[in-house]
Chains A and B, each alone.
Chain A
Amino acid sequence: MNSFAHGIHPPERKNLVADKAIEIIPPPEKVILPLLQNVGAPCEPVVRPKQDVSFGDPVCRGGAPVSASLHSPVSGRVQKISVTTLANGRHVKAIFIKTEGEQLSGRALWEEIFGGDWPMQNIQKYDPQEIIAAIYSAGIVGQGGAAFPTHVKLMPGKKKTLDTVLINGCECEPYLNADFRLMIEAPGPVVCGALLIGRVTGAEEIIIGIEDNKPEAVESLKKATFGTGIKIAVLKTKYPQGSEKQLIQAVLRRKVPLGGLPPDVGVVVNNVGTAASVARAVIKGKPVTHRIVSVTGAGIADPKNLLVPIGICFDELIKFCGGLTMDAARLIAGGPMTGFAFTNLETPVTKGTGGLIALTQKDVRKAKETSCIRCGRCVDVCPMNLVPTRLALASRQKNLDLLEKYNIQGCFECGCCAYICPAGIPLVQLIRAGKALSVASKKK
């Protein structure tokens, strides 16, 4: 079976919500829309406090080259533009909107977002420039977590020809099921979006990669892609199968050069959720206003998959899922391997948030940290084939030469090394510090 080299097998714990159909959360009383939800620059507000907005109205335009615009997921009134804190700890400006009047909800909302016809033939009739324009004005960013603006990703430098589009349906992080449910419940927009991305890039081949622990998703997409020429690659269940470089290695046996990006080997990778948003933007002309979030973990009373408006506070999600259990110990936005722990329940959901996980003390139990016993397990599992223990040491010693020698910038913080380390050393945390150090030194 196709896979990448190294990696780990963390407990999957997907079954908490794998079989639960997506539920639609009732419209919240307010939403908080951070102006920076993506990699790159914040967007510029185009609304003022006390202004009325309706569902889907732009509230913000992405001005800078790498930024994305933002739309209101509800109808209501702008309260204020003020600072909020994201789950990753960044303080950013945000637009606070109080919902007022009629709201689209329940089945009608589902139909609005995923319903209708999703053309899969005659994709040639869509002009690439128009597709890009639609993606840009819909404010689409990568929904797998990285949140890189999609229109930028699809317009690589003129010299690079893209021959393959990979659609990422791996969802290799434990617990999460947002992409899985999307592939089962709304395969239409995913496939249509994949075709549109193929059209933009001019790639001959479109492949959807799915891990073999999701046979239902494979079935669903096989049916939906019938006659479209899209291939499905079933991949081994292993973390981080869904990381771009690892996915490319697994499916195409190509290696993205160190410091390079997928276009360097003629590939562009997009998440299934992103593909669905692209379809919605191009076919229906509608922006990103909602996303699917798995609210799960042993610390959640009644775990669910939810369709939620961007900007809704995690508090509402938790309440809708029966609240936290008393042994909940850590809340995580995203997956448990790369997500961010936070404690402020007023934190809003962003476009890149695929999950809200409540872990209990038992789940996160950490053994006492001992010295590195040089067992080399971190080396064995690192998908980038780095030497994490040396990077951590170099970071502790603030030794820039050593950091460079061991290619610190190759690390994409997947967490495999820290997961496996028998000595319980916080390798990723140390490496992150080392990275910051090395970036800072280069700026000088």
Chain B
Amino acid sequence: MMPKNRPKTASDEKAPIPVLHVAHSPHLCQTARTTQRMMIDVVIAVTPLLVVSFFVFRWYAVKQIAVCLAGCLAAEVIFTKMRRRSLSLSDWSATVTGIILALSLPGPAPWYVGVIASFVSIGIGKIIFGGIGMNIFNPAMVGRAFVMIAFAGNLAASGYVDPMSPIDAMTQATPMDAFKQTGATATLSALFWGLTNGSLGETSAVACIIGGFYLCLRRTASWEIPVGVILSAGVMAGIANLADLQSHWTVLHHLLGGSLLFGAFFIATDPVSSPLAPKGKFIFGVGVGFFIMLLRFYSGYPEGVMFAVLLMNALTPLINHWTIPRTFGEK
């Protein structure tokens, strides 16, 4: 009656019956994008940045990344143990925080700066709020802001420069600072390829764009955020250019220089600390771009990505409130 080679089934008299269980619908779920996979995506996406930083800053980069990674993982272990929670290293989020933090620091910063920044990132940036998903601010930026204030010297523009360094890039001021101090303009190609001084991950525009595109294509990062940042920063830079036609620091310099692209693709896109709905994400991006430019123009610092992101993080609950999507068919 039935083909002989059919698989063993429960209706065979003595065959064991498969174990059935019930659960709520839906009974299918996608497996391509889990929390863990999204974190691994970020690690994949930063590889071009790591490559450039190893190439430009050599062992400075290696050391800083090792310190921050070790620091963040250790902090995660210690703090979760203290809260008696089950350990969550497998979600890779501490790894991501460590890498992003390291890439936002200058190469010459001493090891303890990295360690302290790591512990603040994980402890105050994340764990205090209740762990992954609960934090308001981008953890890496919390850690970086702390050391920026506590070790002002190491993180100020001069902290990036080591005149004795065997590494070429590090003997010069960062392009952003050089411009702010002396009006010297870096060539666009140097900014594009990344052969300049700066935080480890920010120097190469092309690396940020490659990694950033990957993140957006994977939908791990929401494209609305980088688009918002770049648009608003571009518009503001354009207005500044029109107001001062003599300036050699053009819109493209603004976009490719400093950590604008690094911030737009890798920092502002942290899902936890950015808004939920697409419109909110765009507004968030526009806000980040706006504050970056405002800080670049008017603050004492040459760069403003970190403060811009933290500021918009603080505004995120408000943005979420303003941008509740209108329900289908709602008047």
Interface residues of A (CB under 8 A from B): 5, 8, 10-11, 174, 245, 249, 255-260, 299, 301-302, 318-319, 322-332, 336-343, 357, 359, 363-367, 370-377, 379-380, 383-387, 389-390, 405-407, 410, 413, 415, 418-424, 426, 428-429, 432
Give per-residue flags for B35-79: 1 if the beta carbon is below 8 A from chain A beta carbons, else 0. Answer: 111100000000000000000000000000000000000000000
| Cα of A389 to Cα of B272 in the assembled complex, Å | 13
Residues of A within 8 A of B7 (CB): 301, 325-326
User: Which of chain A's residues have a CB closer than 8 A to the CB of B10?
Assistant: 318, 323-324, 326, 328
**Chief secondary structure at chain A's binding surface:** loop
Q: Are the CB atoms of B33 and A330 closer together than 8 Å?
A: no
**B-chain residues with CB within 8 Å of residue A384 when the two chains form the complex:** 327-329
In the assembled complex, the Cα of A330 lies from the Cα of B33 at a distance in Å of 23
CA distance A415 to B23 in the complex (A): 13
- For B29, what are the chain A residues with a Cβ–Cβ distance below 8 Å? 366-367, 418-421, 424
Residue picked from A323, A387, A389, most chain B C-beta under 10 Å: A323
Give the chain B neighbours of A174 by CB distance below 8 A.
28
CB–CB A387/B276 < 8 A: yes
In the bound complex, residues from chain A placing their C-beta under 8 Å from that of B273 are 374
Q: Which residues of A contact B36 (CB under 8 A)?
A: 367
Q: Which residues of A contact B27 (CB under 8 A)?
A: 330, 332, 336-337, 339, 341, 357, 359, 363-364
Q: A318-B11, A364-B28 are in contact. Are A343 and B21 (CB under 8 A)?
A: yes
Residue in B12, B21, B37, B324 whose beta carbon sits within 8 Å of that of A330 in the complex? B21
A282 to B88, CA, bound (A): 63
Main secondary structure of the interface of B (DSSP, over half): loop
Instruction: In the complex, identify which listed stretch (B127-135, B183-191, B192-200, B259-267) lies at the interface while the others stay far away.
Output: B127-135
Pick the contact of B34: A5, A319, A422 (CB < 8 A): A422
Please provide the chain B residues from 197 to 223 with a CB less than 8 Å away from any CB of chain A in the complex: 219, 222
B325 touching A255 by the CB < 8 A rule? no
> Quick one: which of B22, B26, B33, B37 has the most chain A CB within 10 A?
B26
Give the interface of B toward A (CB within 8 A): 2, 6-12, 15-31, 33-38, 88, 91, 130-134, 219, 222, 271-278, 281, 324-331
B132 touches A330 (CB 8 A): no
| Interchain residue pairs with CB less than 8 A apart (17) | A322-B2, A322-B9, A325-B8, A326-B10, A330-B21, A343-B20, A364-B28, A367-B34, A370-B132, A373-B133, A374-B133, A374-B272, A375-B271, A385-B327, A406-B324, A410-B327, A418-B29
Given A339-B27, A429-B24, residue A385 in contact with residue B16 (CB < 8 A):
no
Cα A365 to Cα B324 with chains together (Å): 32
Option from A324, A337, A366 in Cβ contact (under 8 Å) with B9:
A324
Given the known interface contacts A324-B11, A329-B18, A341-B22, the answer about A419 and B34 at a Cβ–Cβ threshold of 8 Å is no
B278–A376 CB distance below 8 A = yes
| Interchain CB contact under 8 A, B35 and A373 | yes
Lowest 3 CB-CB distances: which A-B pairs, in order?
Answer: A323-B9, A415-B26, A371-B133
**A341-B23, A373-B272, A406-B324 as given contacts; A10 in contact with B34, CB under 8 Å:** no
B25 touches A422 (CB 8 A): no
Q: Is the CB of A428 within 8 A of B26?
A: yes
Of the residues B91, B130, B271, contact of A376 by C-beta under 8 Å: B271
Residue of B nearest to A372 (CB): B133
Q: Across the interface, which residues of B come within 8 angstroms of A390, CB to CB?
A: 276
Q: Which one of B6, B272, B277 contacts A322 once the chains associate, using CB atoms below 8 Å?
A: B6
Min CB–CB distance B18 → chain A (angstroms): 4
**Given A330-B20, A379-B276, are A428 and B25 neighbors across the interface (CB < 8 Å)?**
yes
Our pick among B18, B38, B91, B133 for the contact of A324 (Cβ within 8 Å) is: B18
Nearest-CB distance from A410 to chain B (Å)? 5
Cβ contact within 8 Å between B33 and A422:
yes
A379 with B325: in contact, given A325-B18, A343-B22, A371-B133 (CB under 8 Å)? yes
Q: Which residue of B lies closest to A388 (CB)?
A: B276
- Nearest CB in chain A to that of B93: its residue: A373
Pick the residue among B8, B9, B38 that contacts A375 (CB under 8 A).
B38
Q: Is the CB of A426 within 8 A of B24?
A: yes
With A367-B31, A407-B330 in contact, is A419–B134 under 8 Å at CB? no
Complex CA–CA separation, A440 to B229 (angstroms):
45
**B contact residues around A371 at 8 Å (CB):** 130-134
Q: Give the distance in Å from the alpha carbon of A371 to the alpha carbon of B277 in the complex.
A: 18
CB proximity of A31 to chain B, nearest CB, Å: 20
- Given the interface pairs A322-B2, A371-B131, A375-B271, the reply to whether A342 lies near B22 with Cβ below 8 Å is yes
**A424 engages B325 (CB within 8 Å):** no
Within the complex, the shortest CB–CB distance from B126 to chain A, in Å, comes to 11
Alpha-carbon distance A359/B18, docked complex (angstroms): 11
Q: Give Cα A372 to B235, complex, Å.
A: 34
Q: Are A10 and B30 in contact (CB under 8 A)?
A: yes
